[in-house]
Amino acid sequence: MNSSFFFGISTVGYILAMVFYIAYLVFRSRQVGVVATAVTVTSFISQTIAFFLRWGEFYQMHHKLGLNISIFRPPITNLYESLVFFVWCLILGYLIIEFKYKNRAFGAFVTPVSAMVLAFIEMTGMSKEIQPLVPALQSNWLLAHVITSFISYAMFGLAFATSLMYLIKKTETKTEPAYIFWSVSLGLIIVLILAMGLDYLRFNVVATSSETMKKFLFKATFRSNSPLIVVLSWIGSAFVIFLVWLYGPVLKRIINAFNISDNMLDDITYRMIAIGFPVFTLGGLIFGAIWADQAWGVYWSWDPKETWSLITWFVYAFFLHARLMRGWKGKKVAVVAVVGFVAVAFTYLGVNLLLSGLHSYGALE
Amino acid sequence: MNRDDTDKKPFLDRLWDFFASVRLAIVLFALIAVSSIIGTVIEQNAPAEKNIIVLKRLVGDSLAPAFYRILEAAGFMDMYRSWWFVTLLMLFAINLIVCSLERLPRILRLMREPIRPLDSDKRNFPIKKVLRVKGSPEELREEVLKVVKAIGVKAENSPLKDGGYQLYGQSGNWSRLGVYITHLSILIIMIGAVIGIFFGFKGFLNLPEGYTSDVAYARDGTPHPLGFSVRCDDFEVEFYGMSEMPKDYKSWLTVIKNGREVMRKVIEVNEPLKYGGYTFYQSSYGMVPNARGIFILKLTGPGMKTETVFKRLGETFQIPGTNIIGYIKDYSPALAFDRNGNPYTYTDMMNNPAVYVEFKEGDKIKYAGWILKRFPRTWTLPDGNRVEFVDYWGVQYTGLQVRKDPGVWVVYLGCIIMAIGLYVAFFMSHKRVWVFVTRDGKESAITLLATANKNRGALERKIEASLKRLQRGR
């Protein structure tokens, strides 16, 4: 049994866990909740085993190629491995919260994020092969940079889930700005997933490079050759967003049925960001700058990836100063936390797909 | 304060207040973040045509050139160096300094004040625990002291009437400076960056194999004298096994000063050459257009006689100890064979260099074939002689990033201070505890009051645990 076997188990497991957590949210049955947790823990263990097996395979492959690498170098070198590592951090963070706060309801918001990432991996068909390290990646600073970045991304992802829940819970009318903000954001996420799903169904492409990925992205919808489909896609997207807006209160009722206080959500959001921000500053910005300095001779070059991490940093600095110094509370800061994670997602995926830069190793090789 | 008062304040005071506000900081965060996005969409310092193509898609063919001119005039094509973006960063720096100066003296004063005993245990505190325990206050002293120590606080004592007492103390008093340490570190990093801009040099040097240069080039192409010369002796790309996956890029460099070789070094991607305040990084490579290189071949004839020859395309060589003449007929930088076995070149880069050599003895062609640099089994000829393809030299250039940055150490110092500041600001807290122990008949009443400016929950859990231990002990 090799690593991909265990990765397979964990992928199926996380998607099942999502189904169970949502079922738990809807039916409020304790048994379903216990099953959801059990499935998540099993998948997590399976993924951990897979990670260490892959570590061994990665080491052996380099050994066979006659390159001595340290046994302490984990296999986090390409987009696939880094996304999987992100899921691992996210689930670990979630399980800690579940046990600490004794509340399962967040699971229905966190597991979809990991299922989305795994679906993204499958849909784009990115390469899962173990690849040898290209020269620029043979650096310990880079390793520290990648690991700490993903730990902070996971923290921000959890803050995103709780702040979104907070907004859903606290908005009263369909016309207030915060309600429109969360319903449109959620609607857009759903539209993006649907559009990528349609790409996959229509072309059934296995994107082997970032070029093919760029070529086929939204080709079945927004970038179709037929103007009719383009127009329909836009109308369809507007309709999906409208539906979310219209049926938002249903979601609110479901969340309200659970014993989660507003303060608890607000508290978790803040704590996650209070851990994520320093880790991100150190790992995402400082280690990244040191690595760039050692490898390329420039610690900061305003390339799109660097600039987007700086934008992310400013959004979370905004969050912390608004909350701690200006006394912003509740919905206002929750909106900032949601925007922050959108910036994180764009820093990691959007920059690679839509913009270009030094970080070409993150491309869908 | 009403509006009239503000108007009466001297201009400088109002300016100070403007820069001391956190609201300005929040506005600047948003402005810098949003304007930075523009610079990631418009490719910076790119050829004009590239961005005009993007603009054509956005605003249409007819408007695009005019749009481009407007954006260029506003500095968007080199946005992060434009006057207005630099101004934003400077406002950010001033805001940071003034905000810190405004708040720091008060914090320092508060920090110097010693913690005092409370006048009453009836006060409300975020953490308040009341319990009754058997035993007199004096008998309990050791155990209460343990509780306070478990929280990490050095306790002071203040006696109360009836043999009661108050133990109190604080820890992490200075952790309130964490924010200011972090702010200071941002300023230090900015100072380092400014030193780099004014006293540093950032440029490149594309150096073909065998060439020497005593200048590097700035981004705009102006030559910058180095004060010494650099020669590229060789450049090589190494691959993983037989794959197309690059394993390493290497340049053999020699530094020459006053006509003397002073340094030799093989540089790799994470392994630069440093000399005279300049650092040379391996950053790219490429082929020199229309270059005619030299084939370096190591020949081995019968009886292990070896000889290394340097030949160009179309030239001949003789295998030592024989009458066999090799004629270099063809060359491919990246040879591959299609399904029918026909050779073709799959890329312009030297990914799989190969020479086609015809061997003659007298007038008769003995054999002919491709010799590949990366495939040693092609080096041995049918008659047992060997032609090792060592290199095709003089056709590649190494792309060096050249930098001189006296500010980089200041930036690194700033980074270290930032790490410390963030740790203190986010992971350390200022805790204060007061414990009242008073006699109540045969028992003692214990009231514990505490605060923490961060992570209050953790402190509360710790206090609850140690109080439970105290109760269980009785």
Spatial CB neighbours of A21, under 8 Å, sequence gap ≥ 6:
A33, A36, A104, A107, A108, A111
For residues A26 and A24, what is the distance between their CA atoms, to the nearest angstrom?
A: 5
**Can you tell me the mean pLDDT for A219-232?**
80
Domain that holds residue A145: 3-362
Range name among A98-107, A199-208, A330-339 with the lowest pLDDT average: A199-208
Cβ contact (<8 Å) for A131 and B245?
yes
- In the prediction, which pLDDT does A77 show? 76
Among A281, A295, A298, beta carbon nearest to B418: A281
Burial A46-76 (b: 16+ CB within 10 A, else e): bbebbbebbbeebbebbeebebeeeeebbbb
Range name among A106-115, A158-167, B343-352, B428-437 with the lowest pLDDT average: A106-115
CB distance B448 to B467 below 8 Å: yes
Statement: residue A65 has pLDDT above 80:
no
- In the prediction, which pLDDT does A87 show? 92
Burial (CB count within 10 angstroms: exposed 0-12, middle 13-18, buried 19+), residue B135 = middle
- In the prediction, which pLDDT does A152 show? 93
For residues B170 and B151, what is the distance between their CA atoms, to the nearest angstrom?
A: 9
pLDDT of B387-419, one tens digit each?
A: 999 999 989 999 998 989 899 999 999 999 999
For residues B223 and B214, what is the distance between their CA atoms, to the nearest angstrom?
A: 9
The domain tally of chain A equals 1
Cβ contact (<8 Å) for A325 and B22?
yes
pLDDT of A97-133, one tens digit each?
A: 888 888 888 888 888 888 878 877 776 666 677 777 6
Cβ contact (<8 Å) for A297 and B29?
no
- In the prediction, which pLDDT does B455 show? 76
- In the prediction, which pLDDT does A136 show? 64
- In the prediction, which pLDDT does B416 show? 94
For residues A163 and A269, what is the distance between their CA atoms, to the nearest angstrom?
A: 6
Chain A residues whose CB is inside 8 A of the B37 CB are 307, 311
Cβ contact (<8 Å) for B412 and A315?
no
**Can you tell me the mean pLDDT for B374-379?**
89
Q: How far is A349 from chain B (nearest CA, A)?
A: 14
CA B290 to chain centre: 38
Could you tell me how many CB contacts below 8 A there are between chain A and chain B?
108
CA A359 to chain centre: 18
* Residue A320 at interface with chain B, using a CB cutoff of 8 Å: no
**Which pLDDT band holds residue A59 (cuts at 50, 70, 90)?**
confident
Task: Please give the mean pLDDT across all residues of chain A.
Answer: 83
- In the prediction, which pLDDT does B470 show? 86
Burial (CB count within 10 angstroms: exposed 0-12, middle 13-18, buried 19+), residue A99 = exposed
**Can you tell me the mean pLDDT for B198-208?**
91
- In the prediction, which pLDDT does B92 show? 93
- In the prediction, which pLDDT does B359 show? 93
Highest mean pLDDT among B9-18, B58-67, B182-191, B441-450: B182-191
Sheet-wide strand order for B431-440: B127-134, B443-452, B431-440, B165-171, B156-159
pLDDT of A336-347, one tens digit each?
A: 999 999 999 888
pTM of the full structure? 0.79
Cβ contact (<8 Å) for B270 and A139?
yes
Cβ contact (<8 Å) for B281 and A136?
no
Statement: residue B1 has pLDDT above 70:
no
Cβ contact (<8 Å) for B40 and A304?
yes
Tokens of A203: 């072309």
Statement: residue B253 has pLDDT above 80:
yes
Spatial CB neighbours of B295, under 8 Å, sequence gap ≥ 6:
B310, B311, B312, B313, B328, B331, B355, B389, B391, B392, B393
Among B25, B279, B403, beta carbon nearest to A321: B25
Bridge partners, B386 (sequence order): B300, B380
Tokens of A96: 């800690």
- In the prediction, which pLDDT does A64 show? 76
Q: How far is A295 from chain B (nearest CA, A)?
A: 5
* Residue A336 at interface with chain B, using a CB cutoff of 8 Å: no
Statement: residue B187 has pLDDT above 90:
yes
Tokens of A229: 């489909």
Statement: residue A332 has pLDDT above 80:
yes
**Which pLDDT band holds residue A207 (cuts at 50, 70, 90)?**
very low
- In the prediction, which pLDDT does A328 show? 82
Greater model confidence, A208 or B473? B473
* Residue A293 at interface with chain B, using a CB cutoff of 8 Å: yes
* Residue A318 at interface with chain B, using a CB cutoff of 8 Å: yes
Look up the ipTM and state it.
Answer: 0.79
**A355 secondary structure, DSSP code:** S
**Which pLDDT band holds residue B250 (cuts at 50, 70, 90)?**
very high
Cβ contact (<8 Å) for A295 and B402?
no
Cβ contact (<8 Å) for B402 and A278?
no
Cβ contact (<8 Å) for A314 and B245?
no
Statement: residue A361 has pLDDT above 50:
no
Q: How far is B452 from chain A (nearest CA, A)?
A: 15
Size of chain A, expressed as the number of residues it contains: 365
Greater model confidence, A69 or A290? A290
Cβ contact (<8 Å) for B281 and A286?
no
**Which pLDDT band holds residue A68 (cuts at 50, 70, 90)?**
low
CB distance A39 to A143 below 8 Å: no
Chain B residues whose CB is inside 8 A of the A295 CB are 269-270, 281
Chain A residues whose CB is inside 8 A of the B33 CB are 310-311, 314-315, 318
**Which pLDDT band holds residue A208 (cuts at 50, 70, 90)?**
very low
**Can you tell me the mean pLDDT for B82-108?**
91
Cβ contact (<8 Å) for A290 and B283?
no
Chain B residues whose CB is inside 8 A of the A101 CB are none
- In the prediction, which pLDDT does B5 show? 54
* Residue A304 at interface with chain B, using a CB cutoff of 8 Å: yes
- In the prediction, which pLDDT does A358 show? 42
**Can you tell me the mean pLDDT for B208-227?**
92
**Can you tell me the mean pLDDT for B1-20?**
73
User: What HEC string does chain B produce?
Assistant: CCHHHHHHCCHHHHHHHHHHCHHHHHHHHHHHHHHHHHHHHCCCCCCHHHHHHHHHHHHCCCCHHHHHHHHHHCCHHHHHHCHHHHHHHHHHHHHHHHHHHHHHHHHHHHHHCCCCCCCCCCCCCCEEEEEEEECCHHHHHHHHHHHHHHCCCCCEEEECHHHCEEEEEEECHHHHHHHHHHHHHHHHHHHHHHHHHHHCEEEEEEEECCCEEEEEEECCCCEEEEEEEEEEEEEEEEECCCCCCEEEEEEEEEEEECCEEEEEEEEECCECEEECCEEEEEEEEEECCCCCCEEEEEEECHHHCEEEEEECCCCEEECCCCCEEEEEEEEECEEEECCCCCEEECCCCCCECEEEEEEEECCEEEEEEEEECCCHHHCECCCCCEEEEEEEECCEEEEEEEEECCCHHHHHHHHHHHHHHHHHHHHCCCEEEEEEEEEECCEEEEEEEEEECCCHHHHHHHHHHHHHHHHHHC
Domains and their CATH numbers in chain B: 3-110 (no CATH), 114-172+429-473 (3.30.310.80), 197-288+397-417 (no CATH), 294-393 (no CATH)
- In the prediction, which pLDDT does B262 show? 93
φ/ψ of A78, rounded to 5, equals: -130, 180
Range name among A45-49, B155-159, B448-452 with the lowest pLDDT average: B155-159
Q: How far is A265 from chain B (nearest CA, A)?
A: 15
The closest of B423, B284, B189, B33 to A289, measured between CA atoms, is B189
Highest mean pLDDT among A193-197, B208-212, B247-251: B208-212
Q: How far is A55 from chain B (nearest CA, A)?
A: 19
Quick one: closest CA in B to A365, which residue? B245
CB distance A131 to B245 below 8 Å: yes
Highest mean pLDDT among A213-222, B22-31, B85-94: B85-94
**Which pLDDT band holds residue A362 (cuts at 50, 70, 90)?**
very low
Spatial CB neighbours of A33, under 8 Å, sequence gap ≥ 6:
A20, A21, A24, A104
Statement: residue A241 has pLDDT above 70:
yes
Bridge partners, B238 (sequence order): B248
Q: How far is B109 from chain A (nearest CA, A)?
A: 20
